[in-house]
Amino acid sequence: MTDTAIPLMATGGSVALLLMLVLKFRMSAFLALLLSTLIAGLAAGMPPMRVIESVQSGMGGTLGFIAIIVGLGSIFGALLEASGGIEALADRLLKNVAARRVPWLLGCLGTLVAIPVFFDVGLIILAPIVFALAARSGTPPIYLAIPLLAGLATAHAFVPPTPGPMAVAHLLGADIGWVALFGAAAGIPAMLVAGPGWAAILRRTGFQADHPGQAAETSKAAGPAAQPWPRTHAAKALAVIILPLLLILAATLAPLVAGQGPMVEFIQFAGHPFAALLVSCGLAYGLFRPADTEKRVAFRNVCERALEPAGAIILVTGAGGAFKQILVDTGAGASLANGAAHMGLTPLVAGFVLALIVRVAQGSATVAMITAAGLTAPLVDTLSLSPQQTALTVIAIAAGATAASHVNDSGFWLVSRYFSLSPAATLKSWTISASLIGLTGFVVTLLLSFTLY
């Protein structure tokens, strides 16, 4: 057996072990990733202590970036949620809107909201608005829910500073500004096709929820509690949501427009994701905090509680960084890159396919993104891709990890519960919508890549 075959077999075995631990033994993604990483290194013939050092190096390098991003992003989303800014923005966008335009605006609303908050949080906050609009217009809720869900899922997967694309961008060494630009370029068509477009087809085919009345009651019971302080204005919420994106994009575009100099360096500093999110959190806190001292304490506690779910995301992403480092240090990454090159697979196609396979197998979009990024990173490094090509690979991985949401995905059951859909009905509506997001996003990235190769 060749020296090249052993690391490749170890990598394949570790991925199979990861899927078995998650699917059969229901082990947490963090433990499963870390255990699979250790076994991959040992099976490839690395000295035991070298395996530990490699895991430390990979995880430490990843957490140095992603822990700050996820922590600040969680606080950022909590500030918007606690202030009532998301509901205010929803009311403003949908005020006095013609019925035929509501699905399109709900898709846009979901896209905006998912930039600062997680998919499930956005759904919980906005589901009551869907039912109110459905009751007002006499429309079955699922026809309005699909555009909203498509917007939430698209932005959550494609547009920084959400954790998924940020983590993949870090593992591949992609420029966040280019990821944001290409994420928007791929995400907007994906949202339109999978949201209003697919909802219109469902309407024409007469698709109905199983218990539409029960869905509204479920939403009322599980919806967000009212905050004990005045709701902020929609304009303030929109400004806070857009600010980090503008700063990040400015940092990417400034050198292209103005070259180098002190001002460009300052713009790049302000547009680094750390600074952009920190400034945005500071602005949000200043704009949204209640005037009353006691209410300020409650407001602060809401933000601190937002860090609790961030821990799982941080650890899973860190384990993905360790997995990537093991691939590099064992030589499996270089072997995978050479094999993909001989097969004619570009990193963009390889990343999409790998993410889709892992997504279908175990359900979690986060695990699919991290695993696919770890396997694709050596190919990106070997081919010395341009910043634009690397950013497109990030979006392709995100597209593969978004498609095919089905019964092993927690988001599938969240949609089923909120809109009172049977598993079969959820497969016919939400699963197809999620798959359209992934496929449309991938097609757009392919078309964009043709202009760069």
CA distance 378 to 173: 11
Instruction: Give the pLDDT of residue 193.
Output: 96
Nearest CA to 247 out of 280, 201, 291, 285 is that of 280
pLDDT 10s digit of each residue in the chain, 453 long? 456 677 778 878 888 888 788 777 878 878 888 998 899 899 988 999 999 999 999 888 888 888 888 888 888 888 887 888 877 887 787 777 777 888 998 999 899 888 877 787 788 778 878 887 887 777 888 899 999 999 999 999 999 888 889 889 998 999 999 999 999 999 999 999 999 999 999 989 887 765 544 544 444 444 455 555 677 888 888 888 888 888 888 888 888 787 788 898 999 999 888 898 899 889 988 888 877 766 777 777 777 777 777 777 788 878 888 887 887 788 776 676 667 666 777 889 999 998 998 888 777 788 889 888 988 888 888 887 889 999 999 999 999 999 988 877 778 888 888 888 888 888 889 999 999 999 999 999 999 998 876
For residues 392 and 403, give the distance between their C-alpha atoms in angstroms, rounded to a whole number: 17
Helix (H) or strand (E) holding 88: helix 85-94
Residue 386 has φ and ψ, to the nearest 5°, of -70, 165
Predicted pLDDT of residue 229? 61
- The rounded distance, in Å, linking the Cα atoms of 363 and 19 is 10
Residue owning tokens 């609009």 = 133
Q: How far apart are CA 330 and CA 336, in angstroms?
A: 11
Q: Where are the domains of the chain?
A: 68-450
Give Dmax (Cα) for the chain: 72
| Rounded-to-integer distance, Cα 107 and Cα 100, Å | 13
Query: Residue 26 — φ and ψ, nearest 5°?
Result: 55, 35
Query: C-alpha dihedral over 143, 148, 149, 154, to 10 degrees?
Result: 130
Residue 337: CA count within 13 A, CB half-sphere: 18
For 398-424, the DSSP string reads HHHHHS---TT-HHHHHHHHHTT--HH
Q: Angle at Cα 281 formed by Cα 278 and Cα 284, nearest 5°?
A: 150
